[in-house]
Amino acid sequence: MIYPVLRMGDARLLRISRPVERFDTPELHQLLADMRDTMAHLDGAGLAAPQIGVDLRVVLFGTGAFNPRYPDAAPVPETVLINPTLEPLGDEEAEDWEGCLSVPGLRGMVPRWQRLRYSGFDQYGTCVERVVDGFHARVVQHECDHLDGILYPMRVRDLSRFGFVEELFGPGTPPPDD
Q: Give whichever of 20 and 138 is closer to Ni ion, judged by the CB atom.
A: 138
Helix (H) or strand (E) holding 79: strand 79-88
Helix (H) or strand (E) holding 131: strand 127-133
**Distance between CA atoms of residues 127 and 118, nearest Å:** 11
Of the ranges 28-36, 67-75, 86-94, 96-104, which one interacts with Ni ion (CB under 5 A)?
A: 96-104
Residue of 45, 56, 100, 165 interacting with Ni ion (CB under 5 A): 100
The residues, ordered by sequence, that sit 6+ positions from 163 with a Cβ below 8 Å of its Cβ are 106, 107, 108
Q: Give whichever of 115 and 155 is closer to Ni ion, judged by the CB atom.
A: 155
Bridge partners for 15 per DSSP = none
Q: Give whichever of 20 and 100 is closer to Ni ion, judged by the CB atom.
A: 100
**Distance between CA atoms of residues 37 and 35, nearest Å:** 5
143 carries an active-site annotation: yes
Site string for Ni ion, 24-43 (x = CB under 5 A): --------------------
| Options 27, 78, 129, 143, the catalytic residue | 143
In the complex, what is the shortest distance from the CB of residue 128 to Ni ion, in angstroms, rounded to a whole number? 20
Assign 125 to helix, strand or coil: coil
- Catalytic residue set: 143
Residues that bind Ni ion (CB under 5 A): 100
